[in-house]
Amino acid sequence: MDSKTVSQKQKDVLLLLSHINQEYMYPDWKNIIESYNVSQHSSQYSKPEVVQDFEMYYPHDYLPKGHIFSIMYSEHLHEAIVLFKLFYYATTYETFYNTAVWARYHLNEGLFLYAYSVAVIHRPDMKGAVLPPIYEIYPHYFYDTSAIHKAYYYKQVHSTQHPHSGYNPQHGYTVHGNYSGIT
């Protein structure tokens, strides 16, 4: 039986999906990233053939990090399915988590996000875990750069006295944007 509670698993989900386009930030991931080997743990998957399928692609045939991922491209979709199966057929939460930490570091960000999200939704041991909204994972897809720059500026300055800061004592900062296309 997995020893992690739903709240601990939820925290793991949020950490794995935070700052998805950046290198890892958590020291406890370092050992997993450097030493975890999917092939050596093939017995920890209920269908060991998913490890063989994964090995057929990794490391040369997977979409490189930093490239745009789309499930509309059949090769990307196939890669995502292979990675999803690797996540889904992990027999324990620990194997699932270790595979996810390793994949987050070594594989394409969009590919990881898609396969991991689908696995979290479908794995029985992840019942109760909630994925963050896509606008929290990729805010730059939903806000223009001026809004993001203002938010960074307000965070750095953190001056409640500045007349144009948009600070409200009850709700914090408000960054106004025009998304109607009308100027």
pLDDT score recorded for residue 30: 92
* pLDDT tens, N- to C-terminus, the chain (183 residues): 456 899 999 999 999 999 998 887 788 899 999 999 999 999 999 999 999 999 988 877 889 999 999 999 999 999 999 999 999 999 999 999 999 999 999 999 999 999 999 999 999 999 999 999 988 888 777 777 787 787 778 777 766 555 555 666 676 777 777 665 555
CB proximity list for 74: less than 8 A, separation 6 or greater: none
pLDDT score recorded for residue 23: 84
pLDDT score recorded for residue 147: 77
CB proximity list for 141: less than 8 A, separation 6 or greater: 134, 135
Give CA–CA dist 49/67, Å, rounded: 28
pLDDT score recorded for residue 67: 94
Q: Pick from 74, 77, 68, 62: which is nearest to 141 by CA? A: 68
The superfamily (CATH) of domain 6-132 is Hemocyanin, N-terminal domain (1.20.1370.10)
CB proximity list for 69: less than 8 A, separation 6 or greater: 63, 76, 80, 108, 109, 110, 111, 113, 114
- Can you give the residue ranges of every domain in the chain? 6-132, 143-183
